[in-house]
Structure 1
Amino acid sequence: MSSTAALVPPDPSGQLKPLQELPLPDTVSYVPQTIGWVLAAVVLMVAVGVAIWIGRRRREKQRYRRVALTELASIEASLASARADPEQRATALADIPRLIKRTALAVVPREQVAALTGSEWLAFLQRTHGHFDARSGALLALASYAPRDVVAAIPEDDAAALIGHTRDWIERHHVEV
């Protein structure tokens, strides 16, 4: 015996035979029936598209920061592995000022920043929201122009502070063009 037969009440007199099942209503359409909902959906899709476009544009504009931070991380790793090798340490420390200059050149017109050196360069870094003080500015100049043995002799604490200031500047600088 099937399970559906148990659900049907017995009808010995046949009175239920002419009855029919009630028809089920049509399925409800998910398509909006009024123009207002269509317009709301279009406006929402346009807003999402504009937000995605702005986000991609902003991400592309900030790409130079990600590249610079990646290079700074490799410089930092090179410094960590170069504790015993003064030549490698001097090379890594000399790469820091070059990285800062290249990062600045990525967003500032070359005429404004390429020729800056010494106190003018340090003033530019401070003006663009860098936390470079006189000590870290002197370390930048030392790493740029001093002989390699002098650069290799920079204490680890000073090197770590210079890397911290560099990372902070790369992440937070704002340039008025």
Structure 2
Amino acid sequence: MQTANNPALAAMKDIQLPEPIHAWPPAYGYWLVLAACLTILAVCLWWFIKQYRHRAAKREALKQLAHLALNHPQFAIEVNTILKRSAMSYLPREQVASLEGEAWLQWLQQQVTHIDDNLPLLLAKRYQSKALTPTQAEQLRQAAIGWLKQALPLKHRASEEAACSH
């Protein structure tokens, strides 16, 4: 073979490869996907923070019930106060604060699909001179916790009730 003696082949240079393609900067589509993902993440984070703050009254009421001593002389009054205060955290004061007695108990029952029978019975004893027994106090606490977990956060239904009263 006489390829080395061929002057045309001797003048040839090695093949030059193009510059390697870099990954940076990414294509516009990747920037759009990144922007969409960050937007979705920000909206989800905002929604979770909003829900967490919205449920703050519920968490506080449950914590107060858990720390309330069963032998407190006015245990039923304190439980009633916690329930009413937590309800007023979600609804206008005018809608809840004036409720008392049978109207208050009916309102409590309307907020949940199923209410523990002990809740209205034991709340009705809150103004009796004789304090609740520790067993009754624990039943009232569990009934109130059940109501709080099921009913809260309450939905604002002032417009519905205004329509019903006319």
Q: What's the TM-score bracket when you normalise by the shorter of the two chains?
A: 0.7 to 0.9
Which residue type is aligned with residue 160 of structure 1? Answer: E
Post-superposition offset of 1:113: 1.0
* 2:29 alignment partner in structure 1: 36
What CA deviation, in whole Å up to 9, does each residue of 1:106-139 have, x standing for no partner? Answer: 1111111111111111111111116143x43131
Which runs of 5 or more residues in structure 2 are unaligned? Answer: 1-16, 158-166
Letter in 2 for 1:146: Q
TM-score, with structure 2 as normaliser:
0.73
From the superposition, tell whether residues 162 and 121 of structure 1 become closer, same or farther in structure 2 (CA, over 3 Å): same
User: What letter matches 2:138 in structure 1?
Assistant: A
SS at match of 2:23: coil
Are 2:57 and 1:57 aligned? Answer: no
Q: State the partner residue of 1:92.
A: 75
Runs of 4+ residues deviating >4 angstroms: 25-28
Identify the match of residue 146 of structure 1 among 125, 128, 145.
128
Match of 1:47 in 2: 40
Equivalent of 1:131 in 103, 115, 126: 115
Matched, 1:156 2:149: no
When you count helix as a share of all residues, which structure comes out higher? 1
Report sequence identity in percent.
25
Greater relative CO, 1 or 2 (CA 8 Å, sep 6+):
2
Q: Which runs of 5+ in 1 are unaligned?
A: 1-22, 83-88
Amino acid at match of 2:115: H
Within the candidate set 105, 121, 138, 2:104 is matched to 121
